Amino acid sequence: MNLTYPSSLFSPAFSIALAETWDHLAARLHRKMALAASGTCPEKKQKTFSEIDRRENFSSLQPPASSLQPFSHQAVLAEEVVAFLKPQPGKIFFDGTLGGGGHAELLLQAGARVVACDRDPAALAHAKKKLAAFGDRFVCFESNYAEAPFHLVAMGISQVDGILLDLGVSSHQIDTPERGFSFQKEGPLDMRMGRSGRTAADIVNTADLAELVKIFREYGEEPRALTFATRIIRERHHQSITTTLQLASLLAQGMRPGPRHPATKVFQALRIAVNEEINSLESALPQLADMLASQGRFAVITFHSLEDRIVKRFFKKHAVAEIDNPTWSAPKPNPEQLFHPSLPHSVVADAAELANNRRARSARLRMAEKL
């Protein structure tokens, strides 16, 4: 069920006053419907959530990681990625999200060549050092992975045997307060993975109400999008919003404690908007699939439903052997088929990995094999 706020019916001032009430009602209704559907007792659920909240708050009280500390990122679903990509001597792989180089290192250890990119110069500098021992079997460059095919072709690489995209941010980026990704650590409201583009502060201080609501709804699936956007616009009349904790506390004001900090989804949404993550993914998938050799393997790790849906639909659309239409007398071969029909599937982390790495909780690996 979709509740749409009838903004055009009222004056702007009254709309803003009404917005919080409207969002509040919509959120309550959604919550009630979800509880009714699951048959869960509200009091019990609230208690469990509060317990989790205490645990999460406790973890946020740990000393903040300094940007000077060594690069820390634990590769997720690493065994599954290696088992699927089957690296071996003579094979060449493209890693479009090099990060700390954890996955790349495993591919290199198996004897393969790895060409990699990342938008983040800090990640590249770290990975270059870490993987230097592999000599010329490892090459990396600074780029959005969506523009990588251009660089690969310029390097004389027109085909690869496997591709890995491990989407999102690295733990190192989140743990570095100066990058502005975390709502738990004070820092400038930046959130750029690369060197250029709008910062989160640019968006928060200049976007109009409609754009903020759209970003929070689409990229954060935030049910209180209108409330938060309205608050931000009101706050901007008094002062610019320039730091992570300033934004986080503005969003948390008056919110009931829950399983997550109230700013979680807004921060995710802003990060996705700042880095144009959805555009990059949508434009990269077909280009990268074109660069896969026959029997080449494509692995994508996603961390939220929005990007997972994009990957799932792309793999599915290009894996069906036949397409049908009610006006046709019989199904026809799919002219857009690229992948083996049997393979596209996904896996999530097992209990052992979940116990070891909290980041793996929301990770999903999707896989496809080129015909």
Ligand X SMILES: C[S@@+](CC[C@H](N)C(=O)[O-])C[C@H]1O[C@@H](n2cnc3c(N)ncnc32)[C@H](O)[C@@H]1O
Contact footprint for ligand X (CB under 6 A): 73, 75, 96-97, 99-103, 117-120, 123, 144-146, 166, 168-170, 193, 280
Cα gap 361→116, rounded to integer Å = 25
DSSP label of 276: T
CA distances from 39 to 2, 45, 47 (A): 21, 11, 16
Q: Closest distance between ligand X and the C-beta of residue 236, in Å?
A: 29
CB atoms within 10 A of CB 352: 10
Q: Closest distance between ligand X and the C-beta of residue 117, in Å?
A: 6
CB closer to ligand X out of 103 and 366: 103
CB closer to ligand X out of 22 and 303: 303
Chain residue at closest Cβ approach to ligand X:
99
Q: Closest distance between ligand X and the C-beta of residue 84, in Å?
A: 14
Q: Residues in the chain, how many? A: 371
Structure tokens at 43: 């009091």
Taking each helix axis from N to C end, the angle separating 225-238 and 209-220, rounded to the nearest 10 degrees, works out to 140
Bridge partners, 165 (sequence order): 300
CB closer to ligand X out of 75 and 310: 75
Cα gap 106→127, rounded to integer Å = 13
**Torsional class of 228: left (φ above 0), alpha (ψ -120 to 50), beta (otherwise):** alpha
CB closer to ligand X out of 75 and 306: 75
CB closer to ligand X out of 23 and 120: 120
CB closer to ligand X out of 205 and 362: 362
Q: Closest distance between ligand X and the C-beta of residue 129, in Å?
A: 13
Q: Closest distance between ligand X and the C-beta of residue 156, in Å?
A: 21
3-state secondary structure of 157: coil
Q: Closest distance between ligand X and the C-beta of residue 367, in Å?
A: 15
Taking each helix axis from N to C end, the angle separating 78-85 and 102-109, rounded to the nearest 10 degrees, works out to 40
Cα gap 339→148, rounded to integer Å = 21
